[in-house]
């Protein structure tokens, strides 16, 4: 091997790592976050406070975190997976016992400068652990029942803990991300068919539990599902969110009402307009063109992750990158479906755009792992 | 650290790219679905949703309740709501704010202060919320703005309602005034009603307006309105009317109040007239006064400074808030305490040589040479001090203090006015508790003539007089009825005081006003039906030193105003069948007989005759002067015809 060959092909080290970052992905993340700043500025009535400025500070912090995580070799993160997972479980137990109650659910740990939602952290550490598990597991054992039950348990433990908070949205996302990772790892399709069948059964059970003593969901969650199925039943009550969101979004038209001209969000018809419903404001002000642009940016992020995952020969790297991409996809897909009236209002923010510190920081750290996988891929 | 090993064997590993592509494909399909949905909503159905957005902006707005009105006992209006016009501006619609304001200020006069305040408010509030640019605008200015509306985008003339006090200074201290809710007010209320958050909603700040806020305010209604894209109300869908505030009727007679206020003008003084039969407060005047309407609009710094710098303290409500040593007007209480305790009989006498040695100190009578032998009647008639020193030392302070409380001194009367003072009727326990010192005999001597620690407000003195006149525990009543429902009368139960003793004191008070040697003889009432019984008082606000006593006490006229004596007079009339009791305090007025008694007599006659009394009711010597005074007071009508709106020219 010539000297030149070895420098190009071997894993970069030191500051040269920066050159090997997945720069297109980084730029995409910055563009999406910038769209977020713009919308937060707009929903505050043309003001950097109270949302846009703190969001920018947090994004700056997030970028730093991403770079730091990216600099650390990917095998370190793989070795850390078990510890990270156990740490997240511990934090979930902690919020269960001491967490701050917000909006009818125990979700946060107040760190002073920000509120940490352990369930956000869980989404990433679960993916890491499963990726490490399938990296470790000899391939011929992948579909053996005993080796399938272990990851299922690893998924179900945090899912039930999050469901107890209660946070239905996040628990469904955990389940979907975990299941997706098992699918990627090559578990036999028959298991998935069985789980889907069981899932249908579970939904039936949940609905049957309504009004009984062992009711599995809170009343407000049932009402949200009811109004999702038929928003016209309660247009001024619980269905208000969906109805107003659809009106605002639809009235945006082809190219929108213009920046800061969204009347529906401006007249306070929209609830949570800086968090869960920020996409509505974007679609109202920038119309179909603006909405599609954001969607394309999201899709590009997924594509770059996919390319990274398929270009590495390291199994952990592939799985963790695809898992994080899947998480990201689930995030924005559920949020957008929700504001467009395709899914019930479950309280999932729009990634990188909605106001909120802990979700963004965790996502940026996760993308740091993607970047690390990209930098340290075997060549 | 374990380096990655390159394992590429096994079926599951080979599956990864395939599975990744399957999952990626599913994601792509979902994203495509989202895009299609977005297209369907924003392109195909855009018109429908836009229509919904335009049409379906339902807003719930509060309807501020109408504040209850305030009337006097005869139905004359004291506090009312009058329409006020104001000009508001909506930032969102105005576009270039500075340009619009410049255009507007060509039409109507706007001060820089108003413009700056409006701009600050606009920066703080949402762009679609209206901000008041000019308040209390005249009808002409409103018309000008309305006519020029097309040239003034975002500028809206609005009709509101504001509090107005047509009696100006007369009721400032009684009724108080309202003002816009401030952040401080809100912070004081546990769970503020949403109506309080309406910008510039008026609530009572002082006086009756504040104390009866609960009855006067009413309950807010609500209406559902449809607003268009600019937040303007397009149509009202339905409304739920609020409940208007309750109307209050005062016991005060506005005409008598006006007379009293005019009669006190020029002095720093207070007068309270009480109906002996019902406890109704017929007049309760504190002079000088101020125009409460100034405060409703927001008083200017200059006007406010004039009020606060005045040494006659126009903002202080001297009738209930001001407490004064009652001086000789307290002697009835000392006398009654002694009579009830049995230490003296009405005919018992005390020799007055002009002073009495109490302990090591010498207590002086106001009359240098002394009054000689004095019985109860003479002691009150000529206001002998030594008689009371002597008697009080025999009774002891605790009994005097109890008697004072029986007659409403040192007790807080429950009337809905601001800062009602309790005054002070001290006893041994009080001094021990507050000052940590033993009560001294000298303190008793001081208290016996209403000096020292003793403090009473003019209202308390009027109540005391009414109680002496009737022998009942008359309590003052300011609000006669709320929304037409009469409040309980203040007639009270008979006092546990011997009838005969009271009769003796009343008779002595009669001689004060009707005996040639009485201290208030010059301010008597001649009309036989309305004979008055009273008591003068002169309370010292300074110590007279031994040296000064030796050289001759300095006359009040030679002292600076702040160091002159307070002049007091209490009386009731008619003597046979008491109808009204009055208390007058003239701050630093000099002697009670000279400064307070004539005022009290004039107000009393006005009350008894329910209007201007005939000259025959006055002593013959006074009639010329009274005639002039009547003409002067009538020729100086209170300002009744002031413009409603601020003179903006």
From B121's Cα to the closest Cα of chain A, the distance in A is 15
Report yes or no: B392 and B400 within 8 Å, Cβ to Cβ: yes
Nearest chain A alpha carbon to B30: A333
Among B2, B33, B34, pick the best mutation site for testing chain A contact (most A Cβ within 10 A). B34
Q: Using the beta-carbon criterion (under 8 Å), do A139 and B20 form an inter-chain contact?
A: no
Average pLDDT over residues A234-258: 73
Average pLDDT over residues B317-339: 94
Residue of A92, A87, A132, A123 lying closest to A109 (CA atoms):
A92
| Interface predicted TM-score (ipTM) | 0.88
- From B46, B49, B52, residue closest to A254, measured CB to CB: B46
Q: Using the beta-carbon criterion (under 8 Å), do B42 and A283 form an inter-chain contact?
A: yes
Highest mean pLDDT among B56-70, B240-254, B454-468: B454-468
- Distance in Å from the first CA to the final CA of chain A: 13
* B383 contacts: CB under 8 Å, gap ≥ 6: B328, B331, B366, B512, B519, B535, B536
Q: Within a domain: residue A209? A: yes
| pLDDT tens column, A11-70 | 677 777 888 888 999 999 999 999 999 999 988 878 888 888 989 999 999 999 999 999
Q: Using the beta-carbon criterion (under 8 Å), do B42 and A250 form an inter-chain contact?
A: yes
Report CA dihedral (A237, A242, A243, A249) to the nearest 10 degrees: 150
Q: What is the pLDDT of residue A10?
A: 63
Q: Is the preceding omega at residue A166 within 30 degrees of 0, hence cis?
A: yes
> In which band, very low, low, confident or very high, does the pLDDT at B3 lie, cut at 50, 70 and 90?
very low
Give catalytic residue positions of B: 328
A76 interaction partners in chain B (CB closer than 8 Å): 1
Q: Within a domain: residue A17? A: no
Q: What is the pLDDT of residue B54?
A: 64
Lowest mean pLDDT among A116-120, B93-97, B267-271, B461-465: B93-97
Q: What is the pLDDT of residue A230?
A: 63
**Residue A274 in this model has a pLDDT that exceeds 90:** no
From B140's Cα to the closest Cα of chain A, the distance in A is 33
Q: Using the beta-carbon criterion (under 8 Å), do B41 and A340 form an inter-chain contact?
A: yes
Average pLDDT, chain B: 86
Q: Using the beta-carbon criterion (under 8 Å), do B41 and A313 form an inter-chain contact?
A: no
For chains A and B, what is the number of CB pairs under 8 angstroms? 147
A262 interaction partners in chain B (CB closer than 8 Å): none
Q: Using the beta-carbon criterion (under 8 Å), do B50 and A139 form an inter-chain contact?
A: no
Average pLDDT over residues B124-132: 69
| pLDDT tens column, A69-78 | 999 999 899 9
* Bigger pLDDT: B620 vs A208: B620
**How many CB atoms lie under 10 A from the CB of residue B235?**
8
Q: Within a domain: residue A152? A: yes
Q: Using the beta-carbon criterion (under 8 Å), do B12 and A75 form an inter-chain contact?
A: no
| pLDDT tens column, B537-588 | 999 888 888 888 888 788 888 888 888 999 999 999 999 999 999 999 999 9
A183 interaction partners in chain B (CB closer than 8 Å): 19, 22-23
Lowest mean pLDDT among A210-219, A322-331, B434-443: A210-219
**Residue B62 in this model has a pLDDT that exceeds 90:** no
**How many CB atoms lie under 10 A from the CB of residue A30?**
13
Q: Using the beta-carbon criterion (under 8 Å), do B31 and A333 form an inter-chain contact?
A: yes
**Residue A110 in this model has a pLDDT that exceeds 80:** no
Average pLDDT over residues A74-88: 92
B8 interaction partners in chain A (CB closer than 8 Å): 313
For chain A, give the number of residues.
379
Q: Within a domain: residue A65? A: no
Between the alpha carbon of residue B459 and those of residues B201, B385, B427, B490, the distances in Å are 33, 24, 21, 14
B351-375 exposure pattern, b = at least 16 Cβ within 10 A, e = fewer: ebebbbebeeeebbbbeeebbeebb
Q: Using the beta-carbon criterion (under 8 Å), do A75 and B23 form an inter-chain contact?
A: no
For chain B, give the number of residues.
649
Highest mean pLDDT among A84-93, B43-52, B224-233: A84-93
From A214's Cα to the closest Cα of chain B, the distance in A is 35
Q: Using the beta-carbon criterion (under 8 Å), do A315 and B41 form an inter-chain contact?
A: no
From A248's Cα to the closest Cα of chain B, the distance in A is 7
- The total number of structural domains in chain A stands at 1
Q: What is the pLDDT of residue B423?
A: 92
Q: Which residue has the tokens 């394309």?
A: A296
| pLDDT tens column, B175-203 | 999 988 887 887 777 666 767 767 678 89
A292 interaction partners in chain B (CB closer than 8 Å): 35, 38
Among A247, A301, A336, A372, pick the best mutation site for testing chain B contact (most B Cβ within 10 A). A247
Pairing of strands B372-374, B479-482: unpaired
> In which band, very low, low, confident or very high, does the pLDDT at B55 lie, cut at 50, 70 and 90?
low
Q: What is the pLDDT of residue B186?
A: 76
Domain hosting residue A250, numbered range: 81-291+311-362
Average pLDDT over residues B431-435: 92
A246 interaction partners in chain B (CB closer than 8 Å): 41, 49
Give, in degrees to the nearest 5, the angle at Cα A72 between A70 and A78. 100
* B567 contacts: CB under 8 Å, gap ≥ 6: B537, B538, B584, B585, B586, B589, B590, B591, B592, B594, B595, B596
**Residue B17 in this model has a pLDDT that exceeds 70:** yes
Q: What is the pLDDT of residue B647?
A: 35
**Residue B455 in this model has a pLDDT that exceeds 90:** yes
Local structure of B532: helix, strand or coil: coil
From A179's Cα to the closest Cα of chain B, the distance in A is 11
Q: Within a domain: residue A177? A: yes
B35 interaction partners in chain A (CB closer than 8 Å): 292, 295
From B51's Cα to the closest Cα of chain A, the distance in A is 8
Q: What is the pLDDT of residue A2?
A: 47
**Residue A292 in this model has a pLDDT that exceeds 50:** yes
> In which band, very low, low, confident or very high, does the pLDDT at B69 lie, cut at 50, 70 and 90?
very high
Q: What percent of chain A has pLDDT over 90?
A: 36
**Residue B536 in this model has a pLDDT that exceeds 60:** yes
Rg (CA), chain B: 36
Average pLDDT over residues B631-641: 58
Q: Within a domain: residue A188? A: yes
| pLDDT tens column, B222-266 | 777 766 544 556 667 777 788 889 999 999 999 999 999 999 988
Q: Within a domain: residue A214? A: yes
Among B41, B123, B230, pick the best mutation site for testing chain A contact (most A Cβ within 10 A). B41
> In which band, very low, low, confident or very high, does the pLDDT at B1 lie, cut at 50, 70 and 90?
very low
Q: Within a domain: residue A49? A: no
């Amino acid at each position: 091997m010539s000297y030149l060959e070895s420098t190009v092909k071997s894993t970069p080290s030191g500051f040269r790592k920066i050159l090997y970052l997945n720069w297109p992905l980084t730029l995409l993340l910055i563009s999406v976050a910038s769209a977020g700043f713009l919308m937060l500025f707009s929903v505050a009535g043309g003001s950097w406070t109270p949302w846009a400025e703190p969001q920018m500070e947090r994004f700056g912090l997030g970028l730093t975190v991403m770079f730091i995580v990216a600099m650390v070799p990917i095998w370190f993160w793989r070795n850390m997976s078990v510890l990270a997972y156990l740490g997240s479980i511990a934090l979930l137990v902690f919020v269960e016992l001491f967490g701050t109650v917000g909006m009818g659910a125990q979700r946060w740990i107040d760190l002073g400068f920000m509120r940490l939602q352990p369930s956000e952290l869980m989404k990433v550490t679960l993916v890491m652990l499963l990726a490490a598990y399938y990296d470790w597991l000899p391939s011929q054992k992948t579909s053996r029942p005993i080796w399938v039950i272990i990851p299922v348990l690893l998924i179900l433990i945090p899912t039930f803990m999050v469901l107890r908070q209660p946070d239905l949205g996040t628990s469904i996302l955990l389940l979907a991300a975990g299941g997706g990772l098992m699918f990627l790892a090559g578990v036999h399709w028959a298991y998935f068919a069985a789980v889907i069948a069981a899932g249908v059964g579970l939904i039936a059970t949940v609905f049957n539990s309504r009004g009984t003593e062992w009711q599995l969901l809170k009343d407000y969650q049932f009402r949200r599902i009811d109004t999702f199925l038929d928003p016209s039943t309660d247009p001024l009550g619980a269905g208000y969110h969906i109805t107003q969101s659809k009106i605002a979004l639809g009235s945006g038209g082809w190219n929108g009402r213009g920046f800061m001209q969204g009347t529906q969000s401006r007249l306070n018809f929209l609830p949570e307009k800086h968090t869960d419903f920020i996409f509505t404001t974007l679609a109202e002000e920038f119309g179909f063109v603006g909405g599609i642009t954001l969607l394309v940016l999201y899709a590009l992020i997924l594509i770059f992750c996919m390319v990274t995952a398929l270009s590495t020969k390291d199994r952990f790297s592939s799985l963790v990158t695809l898992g994080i991409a899947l998480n990201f996809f689930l995030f924005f897909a559920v949020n957008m479906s929700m504001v467009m009236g395709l899914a019930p209002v479950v309280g999932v923010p729009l990634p990188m755009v909605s106001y909120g510190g802990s979700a963004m920081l965790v996502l940026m750290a996760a993308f740091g792992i993607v970047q690390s996988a990209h930098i340290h891929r075997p060549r | 650290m374990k380096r990655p090993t390159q394992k590429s064997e096994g079926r599951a590993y080979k599956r990864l790219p395939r599975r990744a592509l399957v999952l990626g494909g599913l994601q792509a399909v979902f994203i495509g679905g989202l895009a299609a949905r977005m297209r369907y909503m924003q392109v195909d159905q855009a018109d429908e949703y836009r229509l919904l957005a335009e049409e379906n902006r339902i807003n719930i707005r509060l309807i501020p309740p109408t504040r209850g009105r305030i009337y006097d006992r005869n139905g004359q209006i004291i506090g009312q709501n009058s329409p006020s016009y104001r000009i508001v501006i909506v930032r969102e619609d105005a576009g270039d704010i500075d340009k619009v304001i410049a255009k507007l200020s060509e039409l109507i006069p706007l001060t820089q202060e108003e413009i700056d305040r409006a701009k600050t408010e606009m920066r703080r509030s949402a762009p679609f919320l209206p901000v008041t640019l000019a308040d209390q605008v005249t009808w002409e200015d409103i018309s000008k703005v309305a006519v020029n509306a097309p040239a003034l985008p975002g500028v809206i003339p609005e009709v509101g309602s504001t509090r107005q006090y047509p009696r100006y200074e007369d009721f400032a201290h009684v009724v108080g005034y309202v003002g816009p809710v401030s952040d401080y007010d809100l912070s004081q209320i546990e769970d503020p009603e949403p109506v309080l958050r309406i910008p510039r909603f008026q609530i009572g700040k002082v006086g009756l307006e504040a104390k009866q806020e609960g009855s006067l305010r009413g309950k807010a209604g609500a209406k559902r309105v449809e607003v268009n894209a600019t937040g303007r109300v397009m149509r009202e869908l339905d409304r739920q009317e609020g409940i208007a505030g309750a109307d209050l009727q005062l016991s005060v007679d506005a005409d008598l109040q006006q007379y009293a206020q005019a009669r006190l003008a020029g002095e720093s003084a207070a007068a309270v007239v009480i109906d002996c039969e019902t406890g109704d407060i017929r007049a309760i005047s504190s002079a000088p006064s101020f125009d409460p309407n100034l405060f409703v609009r927001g008083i200017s710094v200059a006007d406010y400074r004039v009020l606060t710098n005045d040494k006659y303290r126009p903002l202080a409500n001297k009738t209930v808030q001001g407490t004064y040593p009652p001086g000789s007007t307290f002697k009835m209480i000392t006398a009654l305490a002694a009579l009830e305790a049995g230490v003296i009989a009405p005919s018992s006498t005390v020799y007055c040589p002009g002073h009495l040695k109490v302990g090591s100190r010498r207590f002086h009578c106001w009359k240098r040479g002394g009054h000689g032998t004095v019985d109860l009647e003479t002691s009150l008639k000529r206001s002998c001090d030594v008689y009371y020193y002597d008697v009080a030392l025999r009774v002891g302070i605790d009994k005097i203090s109890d008697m004072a409380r029986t007659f409403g001194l040192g007790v807080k009367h429950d009337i809905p006015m601001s800062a009602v003072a309790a005054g002070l009727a001290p006893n041994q326990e009080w001094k021990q508790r507050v000052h940590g010192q033993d009560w001294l005999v000298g303190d008793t001597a001081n208290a016996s003539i209403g000096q020292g620690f003793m403090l009473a407000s003019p209202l308390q003195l009027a109540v005391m007089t009414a109680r002496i006149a009737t022998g009942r525990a008359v309590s003052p009543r300011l609000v006669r009825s709320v929304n037409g429902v009469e409040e309980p009368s203040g007639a009270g139960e008979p006092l546990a005081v011997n009838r005969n003793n009271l009769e003796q004191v009343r008779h002595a008070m009669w001689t004060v006003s009707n005996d040639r040697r009485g201290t208030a003889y010059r301010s008597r009432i001649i009309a036989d039906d309305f004979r008055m019984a009273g008591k003068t008082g002169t309370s010292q606000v300074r110590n007279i030193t031994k040296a000064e006593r030796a050289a001759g006490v300095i006359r009040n006229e030679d002292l600076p105003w702040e160091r002159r004596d307070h002049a007091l007079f209490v009386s009731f009339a008619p003597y046979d069948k008491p109808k009204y009791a009055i208390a007058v305090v003239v701050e630093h007025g000099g002697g009670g007989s000279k400064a307070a008694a004539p005022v009290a007599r004039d107000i009393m006659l006005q009350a008894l005759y329910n209007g201007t009394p005939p000259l025959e009711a006055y002593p013959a010597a006074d009639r010329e002067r009274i005639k002039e005074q009547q003409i002067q007071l009538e020729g100086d009508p209170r300002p009744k015809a002031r413009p409603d709106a601020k003179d903006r020219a």
